[in-house]
């Protein structure tokens, strides 16, 4: 390991950093980036993973047929090009030639077909089969052509082929994918290869020298699992990390020092995610919509944005962020109104009959436990504010934080919760079928709160059947109106993404897609490199 080299360029503005390939600097190969994560991955087979960490790591090892570019346009990935039939039902993908799995086997359309058959196999426990069950016929007419024909028009068809399906047939055919060693020892074709995975400690990747888009400039990607955000920040400050997502407090105050200004770069943009308080609708406590609406009125969401996010975010009114083309800002809102909350609770039969300060019904006090994950300071603080506000209307909310993997495997997947504070990362297409359709409430599926609404089901299905953008806008606007009335979640906030990256990394170009879309083109000048490949 080289000692850390302070950069003379560190005081320049981000946009003054020389671009890769410019005459006066780099790009150079070498070095490693060390990234902090509050949770470990669960599996590196994307179709089996429901957590963001697993998808982030798997996304560096495996590719999809298409991907999103800096401006959120769909472009080719393993597919060089594609054609859509005039009736919109058939897509023919033309795959790249010369791509090889890391064991040397050629990548062909048979791998795509094998992945498609795996994700649509009823024995595969995946939350993502729905998009692919729309396909009537899939075929691989030659090694570099993959063709799918849909049963009916399916608007998210093209984007669904972005990152879930491709698997090496020659390694996995005939195996039970849920028991396959591949989940922890993947053989990929992406920009990086798995070098080491120490559970609950770190995952180390090395650059793939034969990657079809060119070898990444960085030699290694190391993800360290650090569940405690305060410890993670200390690691960043001491040089043990190069990249982490800051909390608002860390962004505003703890990094406003000459040390951080000289050695790091901070970024800020509206994230593709939102945070919510979700109710287990199977619980008698939350079956009455008036109770859920009352809780939403009892919570001061502006207070949460101010107090928890330090203003780095926006109040959420539904499952989309405000700058999306399908966002509907004219839905029912829930400003802080504790008097209205009490009235709704009384209408639902919740009254303080024994004078102890807690509402009760049928001899039971209104008390429940909310679960959230360790390592997310914003969610923990949000829970405390909600606890305080609910106590003011007579509801006793207990808070329990859990390690991420156990939280997902033992509580979410098994539906063992009353309420949760969690977040969703949103895609570029408005389709929400997997999260809100009533058919997606089974084990390991994403509608884990058990929401069922026939009109939402119908609209979700209709939204998938038209390519007309205005028609889709109207459909998803109506879905947002219904969700705002039903309040299966109390939609809390859309946070700003606040990543910080060490200043020695060049090539970072903020764009509508964020900062990581061009990660394989990040680089470090040779005289600033910190790590040497062993």
Q: Can you read off the two tokens belonging to residue 296?
A: 């939403």
Domain boundary residue, one of 109, 141, 170? 170
pLDDT digits (tens, 9 = 90+) for 293-330: 999 999 999 999 999 999 999 999 999 999 888 999 99
504 within 8 A of 525, measured Cβ to Cβ: yes
Decide if pLDDT at 369 tops 80: yes
Cα distance between residue 382 and residue 408, in whole Å = 20
CATH of the domain at 449: 3.10.105.10
User: Nearest Cα to 368, choosing from 398, 325, 336, 344?
Assistant: 398
CATH of the domain at 526: 3.40.190.10
Cα distance between residue 431 and residue 464, in whole Å = 7
CA distances (Å), origin 112, targets 67, 116, 170, 534 = 15, 6, 12, 35
Q: Are residues 349 and 381 in the same domain?
A: yes
User: Nearest Cα to 533, choosing from 161, 303, 220?
Assistant: 220
Q: Can you read off the two tokens belonging to residue 518?
A: 């061009």
146 within 8 A of 140, measured Cβ to Cβ: yes
Q: Can you read off the two tokens belonging to residue 389?
A: 């506000």
Residues 6 or more apart whose Cβ sits within 8 Å of residue 534:
none
pLDDT digits (tens, 9 = 90+) for 52-61: 899 999 999 9
Q: Are residues 313 and 410 in the same domain?
A: yes
Per-residue pLDDT band for 23 (boundaries 50, 70, 90) equals very low
Q: Are residues 147 and 196 in the same domain?
A: no
365 within 8 A of 358, measured Cβ to Cβ: yes
User: Nearest Cα to 495, choosing from 320, 319, 312, 329?
Assistant: 312
Whether cis (ω within 30° of 0) applies to the bond prior to 75 is: no
Q: Is residue 9 assigned to a domain? A: no
Handedness of CA 15, 20, 24, 29 (dihedral sign): positive
Question: Average pLDDT, stretch 270-279?
Answer: 94
User: Nearest Cα to 427, choosing from 446, 405, 408, 448?
Assistant: 446
What is the extent of the structural domain holding 245? 28-61+190-268+500-533
Alpha carbons within 13 A on the beta-carbon side of 238: 7
pLDDT digits (tens, 9 = 90+) for 467-501: 888 999 999 999 999 999 999 999 999 999 999 99
Query: Phi/psi class of residue 30: alpha, beta or left (left: φ > 0; alpha: ψ in -120 to 50)?
Result: left
Q: Angle 377-392/289-298 helices, nearest 10 degrees? A: 110
- Residue 533: what pLDDT? 66
Q: Can you read off the two tokens belonging to residue 310?
A: 């330090």
Decide if pLDDT at 360 tops 80: yes
Cα distance between residue 514 and residue 496, in whole Å = 11
User: Nearest Cα to 270, choosing from 5, 493, 38, 12?
Assistant: 493
Judging by beta carbons within 10 Å of its beta carbon (0-12, 13-18, 19+), is residue 199 exposed, middle or buried? exposed
pLDDT digits (tens, 9 = 90+) for 34-56: 999 988 998 999 999 878 899 99
Q: Are residues 288 and 139 in the same domain?
A: no
Cα distance between residue 57 and residue 377, in whole Å = 23
Q: What is the CA radius of gyration of the chain?
A: 24
Q: Is residue 525 assigned to a domain? A: yes
Question: Average pLDDT, stretch 269-274?
Answer: 91
Which residues sit opposite 203 in a β-bridge? 197, 223
Q: Are residues 258 and 321 in the same domain?
A: no
Tell me how many domains the chain contains: 3
Q: Is residue 196 assigned to a domain? A: yes
Cα distance between residue 143 and residue 95, in whole Å = 8
pLDDT digits (tens, 9 = 90+) for 151-196: 998 988 999 999 889 999 999 999 999 999 999 999 999 999 999 9
- Residue 258: what pLDDT? 96
Cα distance between residue 74 and residue 356, in whole Å = 58
108 within 8 A of 144, measured Cβ to Cβ: yes
Which residues sit opposite 399 in a β-bridge? 370
pTM as predicted? 0.80
Q: What are phi and psi of 292, to 5 degrees?
A: -65, -40
Per-residue pLDDT band for 72 (boundaries 50, 70, 90) equals confident
CA distances (Å), origin 393, targets 177, 340, 382, 484 = 49, 10, 17, 21
* Eight-class DSSP state of 46: G
- Residue 534: what pLDDT? 60
User: Nearest Cα to 319, choosing from 192, 222, 456?
Assistant: 456
Decide if pLDDT at 21 tops 70: no
Query: Phi/psi class of residue 86: alpha, beta or left (left: φ > 0; alpha: ψ in -120 to 50)?
Result: alpha
Per-residue pLDDT band for 7 (boundaries 50, 70, 90) equals very low
Degrees, nearest 5: CA angle 484-485-486: 95
Q: Is residue 2 assigned to a domain? A: no
Cα distance between residue 41 and residue 203, in whole Å = 9
Q: What is the mean pLDDT of the chain?
A: 91
Per-residue pLDDT band for 10 (boundaries 50, 70, 90) equals very low
pLDDT digits (tens, 9 = 90+) for 497-526: 999 999 999 999 999 889 999 999 999 999
Q: Is residue 138 assigned to a domain? A: yes
Which residues sit opposite 198 in a β-bridge? 202
Q: Are residues 224 and 339 in the same domain?
A: no
Q: Are residues 432 and 451 in the same domain?
A: yes
Q: Is residue 179 assigned to a domain? A: no
Q: Are residues 419 and 315 in the same domain?
A: yes
Q: Are residues 466 and 492 in the same domain?
A: yes
Q: Are residues 142 and 283 in the same domain?
A: no
Residue written as token pair 């809390």:
492
- Residue 466: what pLDDT? 86
Q: Is residue 390 assigned to a domain? A: yes
487 within 8 A of 297, measured Cβ to Cβ: no
Alpha-helical segments (H) within 99-154: 109-119
Q: Is residue 518 assigned to a domain? A: yes
Alpha carbons within 13 A on the beta-carbon side of 42: 18
Residues 6 or more apart whose Cβ sits within 8 Å of residue 141:
109, 147
Question: Average pLDDT, stretch 109-127?
Answer: 95
Q: How many C-beta atoms surround the C-beta of residue 296 within 10 A?
A: 24
Q: Are residues 66 and 55 in the same domain?
A: no
Q: Are residues 341 and 458 in the same domain?
A: yes
Question: Average pLDDT, stretch 265-292?
Answer: 96
CATH of the domain at 70: 3.90.76.10
pLDDT digits (tens, 9 = 90+) for 381-437: 999 999 999 999 999 999 999 988 889 889 998 999 999 999 998 878 899 998 999
């Amino acid at each position: 390991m080289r000692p850390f080299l302070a950069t003379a360029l560190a005081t320049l503005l981000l946009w003054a950093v020389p671009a890769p390939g410019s005459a006066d600097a780099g790009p150079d190969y070498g070095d490693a980036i060390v990234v902090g994560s509050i949770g470990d991955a669960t599996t590196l087979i994307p179709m089996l993973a429901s957590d963001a960490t697993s998808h982030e790591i798997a996304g560096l090892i495996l590719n999809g047929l298409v991907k999103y570019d800096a401006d959120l346009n769909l472009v080719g990935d393993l597919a060089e090009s594609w054609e859509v039939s005039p009736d919109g039902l058939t897509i023919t993908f033309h795959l790249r030639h010369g791509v090889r799995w890391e064991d040397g086997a050629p990548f062909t359309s048979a791998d795509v077909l094998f992945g498609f058959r795996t994700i649509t196999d009823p024995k595969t426990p995946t939350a993502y089969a729905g998009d692919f069950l729309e396909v009537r016929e899939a075929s691989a007419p030659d090694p570099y052509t993959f063709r799918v024909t849909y049963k009916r028009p399916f608007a998210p068809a093209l984007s669904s082929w972005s990152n879930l399906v491709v698997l090496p047939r020659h390694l996995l055919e005939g195996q039970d994918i849920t028991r396959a060693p591949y989940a922890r020892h993947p053989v990929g074709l992406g920009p990086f290869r798995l070098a080491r995975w120490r559970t609950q400690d770190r995952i180390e990747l090395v650059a793939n020298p034969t990657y079809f888009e060119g070898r990444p400039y960085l030699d290694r990607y190391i993800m360290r699992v650090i569940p405690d955000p305060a410890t993670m920040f200390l690691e960043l400050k001491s040089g043990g990390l190069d990249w982490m997502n800051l909390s608002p407090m860390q962004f505003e105050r703890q990094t406003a020092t000459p040390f951080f200004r000289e050695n790091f770069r901070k970024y800020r943009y509206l994230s593709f995610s939102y945070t919510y308080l979700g109710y287990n609708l199977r619980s008698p406590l939350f079956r009455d919509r008036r109770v859920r609406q009352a809780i939403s009125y009892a919570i001061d969401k502006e207070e949460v944005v101010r107090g928890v996010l330090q203003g780095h975010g926006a109040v959420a009114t539904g499952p989309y962020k405000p700058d999306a083309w399908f966002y509907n800002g004219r839905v029912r809102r829930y400003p802080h109104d504790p008097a209205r909350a009490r009235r709704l609770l009384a209408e639902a039969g919740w009254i303080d009959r024994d004078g102890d300060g807690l509402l009760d019904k049928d001899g039971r006090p209104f008390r429940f436990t909310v679960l959230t994950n360790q390592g997310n300071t914003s969610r923990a603080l949000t829970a405390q504010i909600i606890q305080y506000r609910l106590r003011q209307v007579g509801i006793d909310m207990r808070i329990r934080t859990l390690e991420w993997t156990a939280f997902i495997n033992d509580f979410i997947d098994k539906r063992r919760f009353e309420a949760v504070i969690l977040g969703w990362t949103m895609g570029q297409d408005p389709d929400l079928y997997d999260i809100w359709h009533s058919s997606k409430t089974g084990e390991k599926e994403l509608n884990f709160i058990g929401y069922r609404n026939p009109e939402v089901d119908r609209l979700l299905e209709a939204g998938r059947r038209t390519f007309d953008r205005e028609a889709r806008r109207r459909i998803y606007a109506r879905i947002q109106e219904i969700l705002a009335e039903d309040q299966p979640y109390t939609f809390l906030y859309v946070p700003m993404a606040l990543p910080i990256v060490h200043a020695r990394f060049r090539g970072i170009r903020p764009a509508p897609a964020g900062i990581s879309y061009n990660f394989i083109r990040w680089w470090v000048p040779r005289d600033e490199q910190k790590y040497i490949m062993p």
